[in-house]
Amino acid sequence: MFEDFFNVVKKRFNDSDDEYKPPMFKCPRCQATNPLSKYEELHRVCPSCNYHGRLSARERIAITVDRESFKEFDADMKSGNPIDFPEYNEKQEQLRENTGLNDAVVTGTALIKGSPVVIGVMDSRYMMGSMGSVVGEKITRAFEYATKNNLPVVMFTAAGGARMQEGIVSLMQMAKTSGAVKFHSDSGGLYITVLTDPTTGGVTASFASLGDIIIAEPKVLIGFAGRRVIESTIKQRLPDDFQLAEFMFEKGFVDMIVERKKMRSVLSHLLKLHGFDKKEV
Amino acid sequence: MSEKKTAWERMQLVHTSGRPTVRDYIPLIFTDFYEMHGDRFYGDDKAVMGGIARLDGRPVTIIAQVKGRDLNENKACNFAMPHPEGYRKALRLAKQAEKFHRPVICFIDTPGAFCGIAAEERGMGEAIAKNISEFMTLRTPVVSIILGEAGSGGALALGVCDELAMLENAQYSILSPRGFASILWKDASREKEASEIMRINAEDMVRLGVAEAIIEEPLGGAHNDLDKISENIKEYLSQKIPEKCQKDIDVLLKERYTKFRKIGEFIE
Ligand SMILES: [Zn+2]
């Protein structure tokens, strides 16, 4: 009898649950389910495990730089089709519509608590943040501008793989961007990398790993080879924490892990420690 | 000149057992070769070999990815898939070459950097990134030659150079056609189709500004006449190395960056 009563209550509870069901966020790291509103409120941080989720480039810029200080470079640059890949143009047309982006990175100048920077932010919604001609060219130009104007560079990386539709041209962007980073570095320029979810593949094997200071957000994925590729090579399952920020920190490839809510102030302090003080306007 | 083969045919050809490896070429192209070992941090990666030799009497540094000629050799050199320490060894030898004003000759022949736990733990991404950026400003001439296959960042780590040559049937790709088909079409069995669409042949590389020269292979492929292919490679190097060594190093570096700087296609 009590059991019946319980079932009735449960049923009723579930019914009412259906009616007000708020949108939920299921964390890819800890699998916990929390109300999406809570996750959004925390700027996309999992309330259960502190996984730092993905932001769009515009959202990232908004929470990182001084209000209205961002001036974008090359906003209209769009990719060609260097190896005449079938349906590449159409696919991009659709992505532009869906994301409001012209490619997977947004670059420009901005102020962070008054300190001038060249900033680049990748956006994984656009073809997994892969590096094609446009990403390569915009990042290269951003570094060249910073070198010329003695500015520091802050780069938020996010990339889930190669821009396969640009074939070898995509691979060459690794050399192009790394070259620009090297010239900036040789001229004494400060470069801070912030690794965000996910930073893998060619981006990891080029400009993402070349920062003077490398910061990562908690629990983000960082690596060269994809998890599934490694698992199929070694024929065994990888531990859950493999290639997370904390793992890369432990192995010595990350200087510090910084929470999103503190990122702006940490960046500001680091910039000031390198002499990039508030610019008098 | 042999008849033009399709990408798929070339792919089979560069995987033919008996395709010469760098170990076959070295004695036929260079003299006084001394192999050097280790990255001075972790170990000695057998997938990457390097050392000092003479090319027409001139001291040069050789850095190469090593394929095995049989299963045992392949096991020893991990099928030419380097770990981070392999790339760090390469960089150490490149820096040594810079110090002693020796030109660097890189032989690329790899399916790609090794994908495994240890490779990630020791920072594969960092190792490749470091090589790419350091080679860009290495103050000595660098000429790279792709012997067979050149896969992804693992190849590019030895491919930032003043001039890239490819053996006629060699291929350069961002990932294997199999990987490409499985990611893009969720069907690895479509690798043949992928190989044709990806543009991975030597002529594609020249057209896209990635490679500057194609070294002719004997009829049917390099394995049919080792002496002839070695002679062709030597002829190329004997011309290119003195040419690059004569150039003012600052001009050379500027040209090296420009070569990569201009690759890409975009609309503004
Ligand atoms: Zn979580």
**Residue-wise DSSP of chain B:** -PPPPPHHHHHHHHTSTT---HHHHHHHH-EEEEEE---SSS---TTEEEEEEEETTEEEEEEEE---SSHHHHHHTGGG---HHHHHHHHHHHHHHHHTT--EEEEEEES-S--SHHHHHTTHHHHHHHHHHHHHT-SS-EEEEEEEEEEHHHHHTTT-SSEEEEETT-EEESS-HHHHHHHHSS-GGGHHHHHHHS--BHHHHHHTTS--EEEPPPTT-GGG-HHHHHHHHHHHHHHHHHHHHHS-HHHHHHHHHHHHHT---EE-
Closest approach of A48 to chain B, Cα-based (Å): 27
* Same domain (yes/no): A210, A178: yes
Q: Identify whether A27 is part of a domain.
A: yes
End-of-domain residue from the set A34, A51, A68: A51
Domain count for chain A: 2
**Confidence grade of residue A22 (pLDDT, cut at 50, 70, 90):** confident
Picking from A169, A222, A225, the nearest residue to B263 by CB comes out as A169
The reply to whether B187 touches chain A by the CB within 8 Å rule is no
Test the B interface: residue of A172, A186, A222, A231 with most B CBs within 10 Å: A172
The phi and psi torsions of B43 (rounded to 5 degrees) equal: 180, -165
pLDDT tens for A206-236 read 999 999 999 999 999 999 998 888 988 888 8
State residue B1's pLDDT score: 47
State residue A227's pLDDT score: 86
State residue B194's pLDDT score: 95
DSSP A131: B
* Same domain (yes/no): A80, A30: no
Q: Identify whether B1 is part of a domain.
A: no
Domain count for chain B: 1
* Same domain (yes/no): A135, A259: yes
* Same domain (yes/no): A58, A144: yes
pLDDT(A10) > 80: no
pLDDT(A14) > 60: no
Q: Identify whether B119 is part of a domain.
A: yes
Q: Cβ of A76 and B268 within 8 Å?
A: yes
State residue A279's pLDDT score: 63
The reply to whether B188 touches chain A by the CB within 8 Å rule is no
* Same domain (yes/no): A269, A146: yes
Closest approach of A50 to chain B, Cα-based (Å): 23
Domain that holds residue B131: 7-261
Q: Identify whether B268 is part of a domain.
A: no
Q: Identify whether B266 is part of a domain.
A: no
* Same domain (yes/no): A140, A17: no
Average pLDDT value for residue range A190-196: 98
Question: What are the residues whose beta carbons fall under 8 Å from the beta carbon of B19, sequence distance 6 or more?
Answer: B13, B67, B148, B221, B222, B223
Mean per-residue pLDDT of chain A: 92
* Same domain (yes/no): A22, A74: no
pLDDT tens for A29-71 read 999 999 999 999 999 999 999 999 999 999 999 999 999 999 9
A 226-265 residues inside an 8 A Cβ radius of B: 226, 229-230, 233-234, 238, 242-243, 251-253
CA-nearest of B128, B203, B218 to B170 is B203
State residue A18's pLDDT score: 58
pLDDT(A9) > 60: no
State residue A162's pLDDT score: 84
* Same domain (yes/no): A8, A68: no
Length of chain B: 268
Largest distance between two CA atoms of chain B: 53
The reply to whether A162 touches chain B by the CB within 8 Å rule is yes
State residue A281's pLDDT score: 45
Picking from A77, A81, A167, the nearest residue to B174 by CB comes out as A167
Reported pTM: 0.94
* Same domain (yes/no): A122, A140: yes
Domain that holds residue A98: 53-273
pLDDT(A195) > 50: yes
Give the distance (Å) from ligand 1 centre to CA of residue A47: 7
d(CA A56, CA A62): 10
Q: Cβ of A178 and B173 within 8 Å?
A: no
Q: What is the ipTM of this complex?
A: 0.97
Residue numbers in A near B263 (CB within 8 A): 169, 172-173, 176
d(CA B31, CA A10): 84
Of A9 and B153, the one with more pLDDT: B153
pLDDT(A280) > 80: no
* Same domain (yes/no): A188, A77: yes
CATH number for B34: 3.90.226.10
Test the A interface: residue of B91, B126, B190 with most A CBs within 10 Å: B126
Q: Specify the residue for token string 């420690």.
A: A273
DSSP A33: E
pLDDT(A99) > 90: yes
How many contacts does A have with B, using Cβ atoms within 8 A?
A: 183
d(CA A3, CA A52): 42
State residue A232's pLDDT score: 84
CATH number for A269: 3.90.226.10
Q: Identify whether B199 is part of a domain.
A: yes
Average pLDDT value for residue range A117-144: 97
Q: Identify whether B93 is part of a domain.
A: yes
B/e letters for A257-270, b = 16+ CB within 10 Å, e = fewer, are bbebeebbebbbeb
* Same domain (yes/no): A86, A128: yes
B/e letters for A69-102, b = 16+ CB within 10 Å, e = fewer, are bbeebbeebbbbbbbebeebeeebeebeeebebb
The reply to whether B118 touches chain A by the CB within 8 Å rule is no
Give the distance (Å) from ligand 1 centre to CA of residue A263: 19
Query: Among the listed ranges A14-18, A250-254, B118-122, B264-268, which one has the minimum average pLDDT value?
Result: A14-18
pLDDT(A16) > 80: no
State residue A1's pLDDT score: 43
Residue numbers in B near A85 (CB within 8 A): 197
Q: Cβ of A172 and B264 within 8 Å?
A: yes
* Same domain (yes/no): A64, A159: yes
Of A19 and B166, the one with more pLDDT: B166
Judged by phi (left if over 0) then psi (alpha if -120 to 50, else beta), residue A103 lies in beta
Low-confidence ranges of chain B (pLDDT < 70): 1-3
Give the distance (Å) from ligand 1 centre to CA of residue A228: 21
